[in-house]
Amino acid sequence: MFATLSDRLTATFKNLRSKGRLSEADIDATVREIRRALLDADVAVSVVRAFTGKVRERALSEEVSGALNPAQQVVKIVNDELVAVLGGEQRPLLFAKTPPTVILLAGLQGAGKTTLAGKLARHLREQGHTPLLVAADLQRPNAVTQLQVVGERAGVPVFAPHPGAQESSEGGVVVAPAADPVAVAREGLATAQARQHDVLIVDTAGRLGVDAEMMQQAADIRDAVRPDEVLFVIDAMIGQDAVATAQAFADGVGFTGVVLSKLDGDARGGAALSVASVTGRPILFASTGEKLTDFEVFHPDRMASRILDMGDVLSLIEQAEKAFDARQAEEMADKLASGEGFTLEDFLVQMQGLRQMGSMKKMLTMMPGMGQMREAIENFDEREVDRIEAIIRSMTPAERRNPKIINGSRRSRIARGSGTTATDINQLLERFTAAQKMMKQMSRGGGVPGMPGLGNLPGMGGKKSRGRAAPQPRKGKKGRSGNPAKRAQQEREAQLRAEGRAPGGSAFGLGGNEQAEVDPAKLELPPGMEKFLGR
């Protein structure tokens, strides 16, 4: 979503790196470009004005004028101010002292409340909670059915005593009789208490626009269940209207936190940079896709790093910790340490772990500096992982353990079984061989290849080098000089060394061919040093 904004800011900072000292004109030009980039991203004008004012004030201060690298200092200032605009520190959910914790979801229709209710419930279930979903949206056609489907996929029970509005066979909408969303929410709270659910998530109805009836219904449900958290779900793609909608909900219902949905879209993303600053409420979560797993805790500092193309390594590590089993990782480390080697079976396990982490494109975008390779990442074929897995699964256990036995006939059989070509298999085996060599080097040296104490990586030199080889020092004896007088002196010194006498004086400048006798008692030594002389 922030691709355009990230590219604009990165290009702006690139122009500063070539300057050793920044003048006021340089800072004004930089702030002007930042202002244009933010306005083009649909950030609220009031937020842009305050943001650029703080950046300019800090950039003109002594912290930049006295910095060794002014360009990096300006980037740090922009990063700090972005974190502040996005809400500062990450705030977790506030849980009630006495369960259940009641979470009320509010927002416009189409913002993705129902799907997000399932994502939030799944997220809490993975943390050890026992959530219960309540279908209080009885006005949108098939909203109750949708929540039941989402709840089943998330593995969370749904309280839905009323079917809500349904589409009739003639294409109209039929509202179920006695459909009172306030009563449903109240009954859901009682059910959660009776069944000992520690979290209750209430999905409420939305409208295509803000109106008095919608606000009143949300306020009545709020008063009935007295939620611990009221989360305002907002579509990150609606642009400038996000600020007005958020302000209307803050005045009409009141909310304690914001959830951004559809953050994976291709819109400008100004809502994410505006809503927290305008409403004063923190962004708690973000929905980054259609799957139930495309849901993450919102960290302002990490989002600012993504916008400035500095990556989000911490989130990448957290995803890896969830996807890779600790026991398997320990077994893999023990296997490498014992020298058993890295096989295609191990490679398959690693590939399956990568699939559990999610989209490869998303993982690549979390790496620092990947904004410069955005086009290549967009063209990356996610099906490549499927092809690799199909090739490995088409091999026999013996072939996975020892790929060297794969000859022409075996290669043809594997290609037919995996629906690929012999060229694809050759490319996979070449990449695997390179990975296997790297793993062997890591097991021998106990670290990353290319670091001190380890062999060179392939292509880093070693046995062969370009051009003429560097001269190697001679061992044992020095080369003979071409000067006859100097060569005679060298021969005399060699003879003295063979007889056990030091030639031409000692290294300490005592002089003579014989070592001078030194009386330790006559030496003036610092206090405490005499113990080293054996006295």
Highest mean pLDDT among 112-126, 425-439, 473-487: 112-126
Radius of gyration of the chain (CA): 35
Question: What's the pLDDT score for residue 242?
Answer: 74
The dotted CATH code for 101-167+174-309 is 3.40.50.300
Q: Residue 143 and residue 153: Cα distance in Å, rounded?
A: 16
Q: What is the 3-state secondary structure (H, E, C) of 391-417?
A: HHHCCCHHHHHCHHHCCHHHHHHHHHH
67 near 58, Cβ under 8 Å? no
**According to the model, what pLDDT value does residue 463 have?**
39
Whether 101-167+174-309 and 317-445 share one fold: the answer is no
Global pTM exceeds 0.85? no
| H/E segment holding residue 296 | strand 295-297
Asked whether the beta carbons of 6 and 309 are under 8 A apart, the reply is: yes
Given a cut of 80, whether residue 520 has pLDDT beyond it is no
* pLDDT (mean) for 184-208: 90
What does DSSP assign to residue 341? -
Token digits for 219? 């306020």
* CATH-assigned architecture of domain 317-445: Orthogonal Bundle (1.10)
Q: What is the pLDDT of residues 124-153, one digit of tens each?
A: 999 999 999 999 888 888 888 999 999 999
What is the overall mean pLDDT for the chain? Answer: 75
pLDDT computed for residue 78 by the predictor: 86
Q: What is the pLDDT of residues 314-356, one digit of tens each?
A: 666 666 666 666 666 666 666 655 545 678 877 777 777 766 6
Q: Where are the domains of the chain?
A: 3-85, 101-167+174-309, 317-445
- The bridge status of strand 199-203 relative to strand 158-159 is unpaired
Binding residues for GTP: 107-114, 203-207, 261-264
When the candidates are 3.40.50.2300, 1.20.120.140, 2.130.10.30, 3.40.50.170, the CATH number that belongs to 3-85 is 1.20.120.140
Q: Is 307 a residue whose pLDDT tops 90?
A: no
Amino acid sitting at position 237: M
pLDDT of 525 strictly over 60: no
* pLDDT tens digits for range 14-66: 777 777 777 888 888 888 888 888 888 778 888 888 889 988 888 888 666 66
Number of H-type helices and E-type strands within the chain: 22, 10
Q: In terms of DSSP bridges, do strands 131-135 and 257-261 run parallel, antiparallel, or are they unpaired?
A: unpaired
Sequence-ordered list of residues with C-beta below 8 angstroms from that of 526, at least 6 positions apart, any chain: none
Higher pLDDT, 479 or 42: 42
Q: In whole angstroms, what is the distance from residue 76 CA to residue 183 CA? A: 52
Binding-site residues from annotation: 107-114, 203-207, 261-264
Q: How far apart are CA 432 and CA 399, in angstroms?
A: 13
Distances (CA, A) of 127 to 120, 123, 130, 192, 203: 11, 7, 9, 18, 21
